[in-house]
């Protein structure tokens, strides 16, 4: 008989540590060698209803990094659904992009795997996943929301309501004449910039794809600035609409804007950056409110069956205003207050104490 010497360290321990640090109870790894599919599904919470979340595709330095990203984004979806008044939970799929990925075959297989969940998870597009990818998935699964433009428009509508709430708290009579810097000119950033321009806002835009930013600027008569300068531009409001984690403590110290309100996921890098904004008196609408328009639109349609989701999207502005007012009264950061409100709704539904990051 042979014995195996144990060291107390399993090969998967890094993944379990990631999940435990994020308080994430459910993680599924999907692998399909013929297509090269390597994907991670994290379902954060089912308390309010079926889980909703986008499918993101990108290269990751490690599986642990992919799991961490999926867990972080799934948690944000749970909070957005709760704050948006949607009867759905949060989830996220990330597809690991790599040289061996046969994209068409991989997304076909992913659609089959999502279909096997029987509708308990509904997905849509996210960074790195295009409309064709979603169409291929939808050929094998009924639980795919393809409409990229309607989700972008819903996000922009919700963000506009939140910016209106910020302007009101700052004593501004409407949005006309305000200067807003929009970081990112993809589907969401472009929709945001266009809505702001239509509201009489002086818009500055930037993107790592300079040609795309210049084309958007010409289209809406906005001003193009360098991607490295957009967050510290001389404006009233900064609106990150690309990647997350961009508002660091160092960026906060350099901000010339008096407010931050954007549609990217997980904009603020950490609690230190959030506290620094509070100390400086910078108004901040957490992205779990400001960017929730898409999940309200998608989940409100597919999961709740609402014919019109506009009233819920517009209500995000009211929620933003209430959180800003509470922050002013209590001196506490808006991100903390927004999370507490989200968990309170989930707790009321479930009768249990919800996990905290």
Q: Answer yes or no: is pLDDT of 210 > 90.
A: yes
- Residue 86, class by beta-carbon neighbours within 10 Å (0-12 exposed, 13-18 middle, 19+ buried)? buried
Element (H, E) at 181: strand 179-183
Instruction: Please indicate, yes or no, if residue 176 is contained in any of the structural domains.
Output: yes
Active site residues per annotation: 92
Same domain, 124 and 213: no
Is 163 a residue whose pLDDT tops 90?
Answer: yes
CA distance 41 to 110: 10
Tell whether the model's pLDDT for residue 356 goes beyond 80: no
Residue 259's pLDDT is 98
The answer on 155 and 136 residing in a single domain is no
- Report which of 272, 288, 269 is spatially closest to residue 280, judged by C-alpha positions: 272
Three-class secondary structure of residue 78 per DSSP: helix
Of 119, 146, 173, which closes a domain?
Answer: 146
11 found inside a domain: no
Q: What is the mean pLDDT of residues 68-75?
A: 94
- Indicate whether 275 and 177 sit together in one domain: yes
Residues 6 or more apart whose CB falls under 8 angstroms from that of 255 comprise 231, 232, 238, 277, 280, 282
Q: Note whether 233 and 296 are same-domain residues.
A: yes
14 occurs within a structural domain: no
User: Which CATH number belongs to the domain containing residue 83 in this structure?
Assistant: 3.40.50.10860
% of the chain surpassing 90 pLDDT: 85
In a domain, 10, yes or no: no
User: Do 219 and 96 lie in a common domain?
Assistant: no
Q: Residue 130 falls within a domain, yes or no?
A: yes
* Residue 146 pLDDT: 87
Same domain, 268 and 294: yes
One domain, residues 137 and 160: no
Same domain, yes or no: 162 and 103: no
Residues 192 and 270 grouped into a single domain: yes
Residues 6+ apart with CB under 8 A from 34: 102, 105
**pLDDT value for 3:** 44
Predicted confidence (pLDDT) per residue in 284-333, tens digit: 999 999 999 999 999 998 899 999 999 999 999 999 999 999 999 999 99
Domain boundary among 115, 146, 177: 146
Domain that residue 218 falls in: 150-345
Instruction: Assess if residue 16 is contained within a domain.
Output: no
Domain final position from 146, 181, 213: 146
**Residue 248 belongs to domain with CATH number:** 3.40.50.720
CB 335 within 8 A of CB 53: no
Residue 236 is encoded by which pair of tokens?
A: 């009233």
Is 200 within the bounds of a domain?
A: yes
The total number of structural domains in the chain stands at 2
Q: Quick check: is 110 in a domain?
A: yes
Residues 262 and 219 in one domain: yes
Model confidence pLDDT, tens digit, residues 18-49 = 889 988 899 999 999 999 999 999 999 999 99
With a CB cutoff of 8 Å and minimum separation 6, the contacts of 165 are 285, 317, 318, 320, 321, 324
pLDDT at 10 over 70: no
Supply the pLDDT for residue 199: 97
Whether 161 and 305 map to the same domain: the answer is yes
Radius of gyration of the chain (CA): 20
189 pLDDT more than 80:
yes
Q: Are 125 and 178 members of one domain?
A: no
């Amino acid at each position: 008989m042979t014995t195996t010497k144990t060291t107390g360290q399993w090969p998967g321990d890094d993944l379990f540590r990631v999940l435990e640090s994020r308080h994430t109870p459910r993680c599924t790894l999907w692998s399909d060698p013929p297509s090269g599919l390597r994907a991670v599904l994290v379902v954060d919470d089912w308390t309010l209803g079926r889980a909703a979340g986008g499918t993101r595709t990108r290269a990751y330095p490690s599986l642990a990094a992919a799991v961490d990203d999926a867990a972080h984004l799934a948690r944000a979806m749970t909070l957005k659904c709760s704050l948006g008044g949607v009867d759905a939970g949060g989830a996220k799929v990330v597809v690991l992009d790599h040289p061996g990925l046969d994209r068409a075959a991989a997304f076909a297989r992913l659609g089959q795997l999502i279909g096997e969940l029987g509708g308990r998870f509904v997905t849509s597009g996210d960074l790195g996943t295009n409309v064709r990818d979603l169409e291929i998935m939808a050929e094998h699964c009924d639980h795919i929301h393809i409409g990229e433009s309607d989700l972008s428009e819903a996000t922009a509508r919700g963000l506009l309501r939140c910016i209106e709430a910020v302007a009101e708290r700052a004593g501004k009579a409407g949005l006309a004449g305000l200067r807003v810097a929009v970081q990112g000119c993809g589907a969401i950033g472009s929709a945001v910039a266009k809505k702001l321009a239509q509201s009489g806002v002086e818009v500055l835009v930037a993107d790592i794809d300079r040609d795309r930013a210049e084309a958007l600027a010409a289209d809406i008569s906005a001003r193009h600035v360098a991607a490295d300068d957009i967050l510290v531009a001389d404006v009233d409001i900064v609106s990150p609409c690309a990647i997350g984690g961009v508002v660091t403590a160092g960026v906060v110290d350099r901000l010339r804007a008096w407010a931050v309100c954007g549609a990217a996921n997980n904009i603020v890098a950490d609690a230190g950056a959030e506290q620094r904004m509070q100390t400086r008196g910078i108004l901040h609408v957490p992205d779990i409110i400001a960017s929730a328009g898409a999940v309200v639109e998608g989940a409100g349609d597919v999961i709740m069956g609402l014919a019109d989701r506009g009233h819920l999207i517009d209500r995000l502005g009211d929620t933003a205003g209430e959180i800003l007012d509470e922050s002013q009264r209590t001196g506490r950061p808006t991100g903390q207050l927004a999370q507490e409100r989200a968990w309170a709704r989930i707790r009321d539904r479930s009768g249990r104490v919800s996990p905290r990051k």
